[in-house]
Amino acid sequence: MFIYDDLLPVGAIIGIIAGVAVLLIVLIIVIWYISTMNKIRRLGVKVDEAESGIDVALTKRFDLLTKEVAVVKGYAKHESETLEKVIAMRQPSKGASMEEKSAFSGELNKAFDSINIVMEKYPELKANQNFLMLQNQVFDVEEQLQAARRLYNSNVTNYNTTIITFPNSIVANNIHARKRDFFEAEESKRQDVKIEF
């Protein structure tokens, strides 16, 4: 025993269904936007964290270099010009770009090469326990730095891929997310190694 007069007209029912559908679509878009924004920010934090790992390794490496210079100075008094250049090096600040950090890493490589040349000239330096201990620590720090570089570059790849991919790029542009630079190897390390027997 339905009374047809109490029912809503068909137009009103269609209007309600359309309104609910539009509301659901807007809700889905808002949820997607927020989750994408959070994903981009999480990836940015991972990149920052990995960059901090590089900073820590570069700082350790620089500290070890200055300790090695102190040991080498005792053996190689007339090599002081080379050693003074090493001491005069300055670490990049916390806000330095990845390009500046890569350049600093290259300078450290050159400084370690200089120390190795001095070491070859003074065989008694190779036998010095402090120097050998520092050399082992340098080796460990080099491995840590390589791992930090790989992690950083992997995180940068994920971040950059996320912010340039449509439709994520819409959110990235709205929150001003910009591509991050990779930690590049210095040019001399990219060249082929020639081994002669």
pLDDT for res 194: 46
pLDDT for res 6: 65
pLDDT for res 136: 87
pLDDT for res 185: 67
Q: Using an 8 Å Cβ cutoff, are 122 and 76 in contact?
A: yes
pLDDT for res 165: 96
pLDDT for res 27: 98
Q: Per-residue DSSP letters for 144-194?
A: HHHHHHHHHHHHHHHHHHHHHSTTHHHHHHHTT--PPPP-PPPHHHHSPPP
pLDDT for res 90: 64
pLDDT for res 7: 73
Distance CA 123, CA 196 (A): 25
Reported pTM: 0.73
- Could you say which residues of the chain have pLDDT below 70? 1-6, 75-95, 126, 185-197
pLDDT for res 91: 65
pLDDT for res 190: 46
Model pLDDT for residues 10-21, shown as the tens digit of each residue: 888 999 999 999
